[in-house]
Structure 1
Amino acid sequence: MVHDKDGTRLIKKTRGIRKGRCLSQVKQAHLYQSILECTKQLGYPVEQACKILKVSRSAYYKWLNGSKSARETENIRIADIAEQIHNESPDKGYRRIRDDLERYHDIKISDKRMLRICRKRDIKSTIKYANNGCTRNSNNPQYIAENLLNREFHADKPNEKWLTDVTEFKWYEGIEVHKVYLSAILDLYDRRIVAYMVRDRNDNSLVFDTVDKAIAENPDAHPLFHSDRGFQYTNRVFHSKLEKAGMTQSMSRVAKCIDNGPMEGFWGIIKRERYYGKKFMDKESLIEMIKNYIRYYNTKRLQRNLGIVTPMEKYEMYLAA
């Protein structure tokens, strides 16, 4: 006969481990370990210990003998694939890995289960760094538009709302630092990059040529065109260019970068996933990285806010409908 105080000691030993009848594998392992210690140290009968903690003796003995359940075996298989995904793209955390598993490997699991597997293998996404923009506000703006977008970051169809901005990337020649500038236009409906340009100088022609490219490739587009108050966007020639294309200009308020939030968000994505933590020693490899990433972003990078599809898939789905 086992004394009640021994049962109390066993329950106290596992307090906080069990919450409800549905247990994760990690918590189950702790329960089995507690039974093993109590049976050895206290002489507690295995049958009684299993009954108190509400686990089956067969499961305990299977754990004791090193046998793995079908779920454990499946988790190991999933973890191996997750590590491969993470090694190819260290920027991916458990949510994006789960989405890749479902889309490209036909493995459907919950976010919570994916998180447990990633924690067990110590799979973590790369750190998100703060983005320091390079846009210079104009001291003498020729044209200022109202903030017509007003943080309404939803669009009902492609080419309804476009955002734009410029950011910088550094490359090194010995100890000498050089820069290239990326100007891009983002569509709020499908988050695709409509057009972009990479140049050595952050000037009017960089922005003007980006817009010309977007217009040439989307001649029927007449979106609301939103930017910050950078000197290129407040230029009267730039405003005339938008008017001629049938676009309505909108600008962020002073010192309110969140007014152009999704565009700033894209800068954070590309830099976190392909730029931060690396040092480019020549301009060509840096520009190639930018081009390859934008191609990957538009056609391969799944986004949950789009329904776990890529920007181009979202765009093509609208056209097909």
Structure 2
Amino acid sequence: MKNEHRLAYQAIKKVSQHEGHGAVTKLLAHLGISRQAYYKGLKRQKTDWKIKDEFLTSRANHWYDRHDKCIGSTKILSNLNMDPQVTEPVTLKQVKRIMIKLGIRCVIRPKKHSHVKQQEQYTQDNVLGQKFSVSGPNQVWLADSTELSYGANGQFKMRLSGVLDLYGRHFIAYELSRTETAAAETRLFEKAFDFAGDVHPMVHTDRGPAYTSKMFNDHLAGHGVTRSMSRPGTPYDNAPIERWWNEFKVRWMDRMRCRPLIRSLWLW
């Protein structure tokens, strides 16, 4: 029996308690349901499959809400498999069916395709080679910048640059600037070395104009670092910091309404 029919039968039953059986006849006639189907539907019990499906749907919705409506089917499945209340195995196909039924989906940032290739000055090979496991701090630093929007309608733009220590995957320095420039990235690394002290990590970046500039690379050379750059058109070569930006924007910026905070940081 469809859920809409069950709800209709329950509504008719509730109305009939106050209005009498005459109301039942009129409502059944209006809905085009026979009296026999109505009383049979009232007595019908939910099947075991229906009970399990409703429970699984409630747990999937619980985890979706708990993660601020940002996770997709694979993460919902992971949470359900670790949920102590869910005692039976769950498949990805079940989760996708439930998401379609609930009308929910993962929130993602739209991709941008407006990048203009700039002339490169200093380029290096991808020495890191997507080896994202390290045994201690300050062995590998990842650097990148991302565009942030602020203002009532998001009409203002600025760049947030950061240095991520691959060990622990946390930021050790950040810099706010109007645009991505060699000067801004040099100031960023001055902060990073002030924080970390006398260290000589591998520094991995993309091939943006700020990171291929003479000014920036001369500054890093003075600290005796090993340089590494992502291959052209391969953002996964810098995946940990790309993932950090994504989580920051989707889970914090968009949810916490921090545009006034960004503006105050810039003015400060």
- TM-score normalised per structure 1: 0.53
Aligned equivalents of 1:152 and 1:251: distance in 2?
11
TM-aligned CA deviation for residue 111 of structure 1: 4.9
Unaligned runs of 5+ in 1: 1-28, 31-60, 290-321
- Matched residue type, 2:192: A
Residues 1:192 and 2:173 aligned together? no
Q: 2:110 aligns with which of 129, 133, 143?
A: 129
TM-aligned CA deviation for residue 183 of structure 1: 0.6
Residue matched to 1:228: 206
Aligned equivalents of 1:129 and 1:197: distance in 2?
24
Residues 1:95 and 2:74 aligned together? yes
How big is each residue's C-alpha offset from its partner over 1:250-304, in whole Å with a ceiling of 9 and x where there is no partner? 223455545434444444444455567x9x8x95244689xxxxxxxxxxxxxxx
1:127–1:241 CA distance, 2 compared to 1 (3 A): closer
* 2:158 counterpart SS class: strand
Unaligned runs of 5+ in 2: 3-39
Is 2:161–2:175's contact at 8 Å kept on the other side of the alignment? yes
Aligned equivalents of 1:254 and 1:80: distance in 2?
40
Residue matched to 1:21: none
1:254–1:85 CA distance, 2 compared to 1 (3 A): closer
Q: 2:45 aligns with which of 38, 41, 66?
A: 66
* 2:155 counterpart SS class: strand
* 1:95 counterpart SS class: helix
Residue matched to 1:284: 260
Aligned equivalents of 1:162 and 1:230: distance in 2?
16
Aligned equivalents of 2:146 and 2:218: distance in 1?
24
What is the RMSD of the two structures over their aligned residues, measured on CA atoms?
4.1
Is 1:183–1:196's contact at 8 Å kept on the other side of the alignment? yes
TM-aligned CA deviation for residue 242 of structure 1: 2.5
Q: 1:75 aligns with which of 56, 76, 84?
A: 56
- TM-score normalised per structure 2: 0.61
1:208–1:135 CA distance, 2 compared to 1 (3 A): farther
1:97–1:242 CA distance, 2 compared to 1 (3 A): same
Is 2:64–2:70's contact at 8 Å kept on the other side of the alignment? no
- Matched residue type, 2:158: V
Is 2:253–2:259's contact at 8 Å kept on the other side of the alignment? no
Residue matched to 1:153: 131
Is 1:134–1:166's contact at 8 Å kept on the other side of the alignment? no
How big is each residue's C-alpha offset from its partner over 1:88-110, in whole Å with a ceiling of 9 and x where there is no partner? x222113333445677x655564
1:263–1:131 CA distance, 2 compared to 1 (3 A): farther
- Matched residue type, 1:91: C
Is 2:107–2:250's contact at 8 Å kept on the other side of the alignment? yes
1:146–1:67 CA distance, 2 compared to 1 (3 A): closer
* 1:124 counterpart SS class: coil
Aligned equivalents of 1:62 and 1:179: distance in 2?
59
* 1:207 counterpart SS class: helix
1:78–1:242 CA distance, 2 compared to 1 (3 A): same
Is 1:160–1:222's contact at 8 Å kept on the other side of the alignment? yes
